[in-house]
Amino acid sequence: MIEFWKGSHALEPRLERVVAIIAETVGEARFPFDDLAQTASEPKGKLLRPALLVIGSEFGSAADPTRIERLAAAVELLHLATLIHDDIIDEAPIRRGKPSLHSSVGVKKAVLAGDWLFSRCFLLAAESAGPEAATGLARLIAAICSAEIAQDEAKYAFDASPRDYFRTIAGKTAALFSLALYAGASEAKAPRAAQQTLKRAGYSIGMAFQVIDDILDFTSVESVARKPVGKDIAEGLCTLPLVYALNEDGAALRSLLAPLADLSAGAAAGRAGAEAARDEAAGAAAARVVELGAVEAAREDARRFTARALQEIGRLKPGSPRDELASLAERLLARSY
């Protein structure tokens, strides 16, 4: 059912129950959104965030499986809600190989569908967890919004430092990975030290995950990634490989990037040829980034974050949850989709 977790005897059945909770929740909506219902019952993603929450809970002994699975469903609903609103913000036409929700149902309904999912996420969290988890989720959404706004502000400026980039992905991605592992451990009353270790490990796994995600925009082919290739640059995003490449070879790259803002505005206004010209310039810039070795430099950072995560994981009690988490961190570093 969930490709990424096939063969994991501990996690697969639990994630199937998480998917059932999500499908049931979305099924309660008065939405006529077949797409959303289908996404909920046949997830195309890796369910990483709920998986981390379940793994985190295995470090404690007091976990009520149903509560944990409901809380895991809440973090995935939060993720789905942010994806829907992100796609509106990024004007992304495709998500996980299918038209994004706002492309198929319109911006208005996509705004409401995201709001509805946020509210359901909070409801599940408030019903299944202590006030700490609910507070944590609320803080997290605020942090994600702030990161997205900062990212949106900086679009087409192509002037991020590595520090800016890391701050953005910390808010956008790593904070939720961190919260998922921590919330699972906290709900299961794992020892305090293990909770803190898991919080740090989740953060590093999330940082590595997002760096790899951003690398894949430069290296993957469309049929595998199920999303357009080189799109980040076309959309004006300055991810890590581009940050490093601009440090190496500013002038030549900048001449390729300079017309993008105008071409993108032209594409949005329906100007003939603007979209194709934008995507071509972005593709050329992406190719130059790869030539400069900047993708490899970024991959080195992902390795560094993963090593830091594995170091944290090494402090945890030996056993199958620890092995599962270490193996997950390694698989995410090595993935090509």
The site for a copy of itself (CB under 8 A) is made up of: 29-32, 85, 88-89, 107-109, 111-116, 118-120, 122-123, 126-127, 131, 134-135, 137-142, 145-146, 148-150, 152-153
Place of tokens 């829907």: 84
Query: What value, to the nearest 5°, has the Cα angle with vertex 198 and ends 43 and 10?
Result: 45
Q: Which amino acid is at 220?
A: S
Structure tokens at 91: 């004007």
Tell the smallest beta-carbon distance from residue 37 to a copy of itself (Å). 14
Which CB sits closer to a copy of itself, 124 or 292? 124
* 57 vs 130: CA distance, rounded Å: 14
Q: Of 66 and 311, which has the nearer Cβ to a copy of itself?
A: 66
Q: Which is nearer to a copy of itself, 141 or 284 (CB)?
A: 141
Q: Which is nearer to a copy of itself, 141 or 310 (CB)?
A: 141
Radius of gyration of the chain (CA): 20
| C-beta closer to a copy of itself: residue 20 or 112 | 112
How many alpha carbons lie under 13 Å from residue 117 in its C-beta half-sphere?
28
- Tell which residue, 47, 87, 93, 101, has the closest CA to residue 69: 47
Q: How far is the CB of 91 from a copy of itself (least distance, A)?
A: 8
Least CB distance to a copy of itself at residue 145 (A): 4
Nearer to a copy of itself, 137 or 333 (CB): 137
Q: Closest separation between CB of residue 97 and a copy of itself, Å?
A: 24
Taking the complex as a whole, the smallest distance from the CB of residue 135 to a copy of itself amounts, in Å, to 5
Cβ–Cβ < 8 Å for 124, 81: no
How many residues in total does the chain contain? 337
The candidate with the shortest Cα–Cα distance to 166, out of 243, 102, 76, is: 243
Question: What amino acid is encoded at 327 in this protein?
Answer: S
Q: Tell the smallest beta-carbon distance from residue 279 to a copy of itself (Å).
A: 20
- Please enumerate in sequence order all residues whose Cβ is within 8 A of that of 139, keeping only pairs 6 or more positions apart, or say none: none
